[in-house]
Amino acid sequence: MRKLLTTILALSSSLVFGAPVWTEYMFKVDNPDSAAKIIAAADAFMASDYSKENFKGSVHLNTYMANGDNQATHAFAVLQPSLEEHANWTTSNADPNNEAASEFFKIYRENSEPVTERINTFLSTFGTPSNNDRVWLLHQMKVKPSDYQKVIKACENLDRAIKDSFPGQFGVSEATVGGDEVNLILTVGFESVAEMEAWEDSSERAKTVAPFLRALDSVVDWKGSTMVVNTRVYDSASDLTQFVTKDFEE
């Protein structure tokens, strides 16, 4: 998790600060006992005085329900107001005198195998932002940067078409660092699996999503989808709604 520090610092002089970022730390655990130890360690770390005083953002500890060829079973998604803020947090965590961080990372290393990491810049939100959404579909795309606006425009058109029927929220992010073959991510959030299934099976979805997909046929190379459930959400500093609306408290 710490190896992104060098990359973040190198990028900090060239990227525009102020755009919200969410960083994924994907990891694999071999048994429920190891997962429980990491959850307990994360609970303690995020409840520590250090985190309360220094962390600006929210953390989602996710469990993968479906992850394709990716071997990760879990992921931390760290949502923060800017790349600069993330760099500050990462630097502080790497301090050997930081007892709270050192204890967390010790337990994390002993009970997991890191898989991959990715920094995403949040671009646009659609639907109804809600802190109650806990089930997420992540649709991964490869798109020419010159076609990004076509994707955003298609999402705007879809948003208008489903505004009275879609129960959740969706958003578009750019995989800024570590995306490999993926550079855009469409995230779709629901309060529950039941709500997701009801939408997926609805006639309204069948009627409205097909034109959306046709509009993207010529610009998007779909790279697969994953499904995660929020096992924990640590949002005492700021929450998901603030993140997607870019309305952070000063």
Predicted pLDDT at 69: 85
Predicted pLDDT at 180: 83
pLDDT level of residue 238 (50, 70, 90 thresholds) = confident
Whether the per-residue pLDDT at 13 is higher than 50: the answer is no
Using the 3D structure, point to which of 85, 103, 120 is the last residue of a domain. Answer: 120
Residue 179 domain boundaries: 122-227
Question: Is there a domain that residue 11 lies in?
Answer: yes
Whether the per-residue pLDDT at 203 is higher than 80: the answer is yes
Q: What are the pLDDT digits (tens) for 18-50?
A: 689 999 999 999 999 999 999 999 999 999 999
Predicted pLDDT at 151: 97
Whether the per-residue pLDDT at 190 is higher than 90: the answer is yes
- CATH number of the domain enclosing 137: 3.30.70.100
Question: Is there a domain that residue 244 lies in?
Answer: no
Using the 3D structure, point to which of 96, 120, 144 is the last residue of a domain. Answer: 120
Question: Is there a domain that residue 187 lies in?
Answer: yes
Q: How many domains does the chain have?
A: 2
With a pLDDT cut of 90, the percent of the chain lying above it is 82
Question: Is there a domain that residue 95 lies in?
Answer: yes
pLDDT level of residue 1 (50, 70, 90 thresholds) = low
CA 20 to chain centre: 11
Does residue 132 share a domain with residue 113? no
Whether the per-residue pLDDT at 5 is higher than 80: the answer is no
Does residue 148 share a domain with residue 114? no
What mean pLDDT is reported for the chain? 90
Does residue 198 share a domain with residue 175? yes
Q: What are the pLDDT digits (tens) for 91-104?
A: 999 999 999 999 99
Whether the per-residue pLDDT at 14 is higher than 50: the answer is no
